[in-house]
Chain A
Amino acid sequence: MIPLAWMLGLSAIVFVIGVVGVLVRRNALIIFMSIELMLNAANLAFVAFAREAKSLDGQIFVFFVMTVAAAEVAVGLAIIVNVFRLKETVYVDEINLLKG
């Protein structure tokens, strides 16, 4: 009863908010959170299409996306913690050792 266009529109809006977050913010943790927003927007699109096609494949994919996102967050945060230990900052434009 909810039109597919609405759900896709919502997914697009949240995805774009995530993209803007990655582009605009300097704090690595906020960038990470914006990436999670993008993943969740994609999940919403998957569930919407799963309902549209009356198949469960979309929901299975969401399940795997959630699992992979959890693994990615764990490793990513460990890396951020390590970088913080070394450089005392989480701002991505101050981590520029490779800059020529």
Chain B
Amino acid sequence: MAAIWSNPDFQFVLWAMVKIVVILFTMLTVVSYMIYAERKIAGHMQARVGPNRVGPLGLLQPAADVAKLFFKEEFTPEGANKVVFTIAPMMAVIPALVTFSVIPFGPQDAFRVTDVNVGLLVFLAMSSLGVYAITLGGWSSNNKYALLGGLRSSAQMISYELAMGLSCIPVLLFAGSLSLMEITRMQGHWWFVATPFGMLAFMIFMITALAETNRAPFDLPEAEAELVAGFHTEYSSMKFGLFFLGEFANVITISCIAVVLFLGGWNGPWLPEALKFLWFFAKLGVLLFFFIWIRWTFPRLRYDQLMNLGWKVLLPVALGNILLTSAYLWWRAQG
């Protein structure tokens, strides 16, 4: 029995499991409190108070939400493909949570699950897999509104994925590595957003992030007034809860990546090494507030305006940004 504990493979797996559990539960708590924060901030922006009944200042609202969703009736529409109908919400949550395994929350080994040397590609891969949830959810519901919403949304996500990937490339050019830990270390002195190319890339990334996560002003596929509820029309109870959770988990994942790529990750003055993750969470909070702020400020884009923006504006600008960045780096290497 003692031999197992000294086996290095076993120790490696155990340590990884502990880190996974801690980081996963932390981020799930952040997700549920983001739901609370959204409702509170939305309330204040609309000159009302927001939830304040459940617990002090309404802080137990997420628990109440989960309990409510849990007790709703769970049904599957007639004629729906039952297996795919059940799998689609899981596909919404899993890619977002898998990305948390490559994000460095702090400089030490305890603050990240792993450091693959293609970390940025893991994020892009997981966001590619996120399209399945919406496509399958919309199709498997056996409902025209769901199908239309699902197809629109997946077309939107695929289009903006391109611009998002291209906007990450200037960061890659500056840092010289795909590993997220390496990118964060390279920003020790100045954050990438402080350069003009980085600022442009950051703006493109944030706009495409809004479109990728189906947040307003790009949330036509789930707009209540237009398409009933889009691809999650027929979902109820915990399956809807998973879609809901998946959307917010996606927002947090993309914000974490934006913090790592553009805002310097855990870099910041005054704090010791062990507490640098507080800088990360502070920057994450600012970006999440930004997402919520945009949602409750801007009107929705019409679908053709949305696709126009993605293909005819953001894609050429992102490509141009890559050209300019490479030209600048080549010129800097000359002189």
Direct contact of A and B (CB under 8 A): no
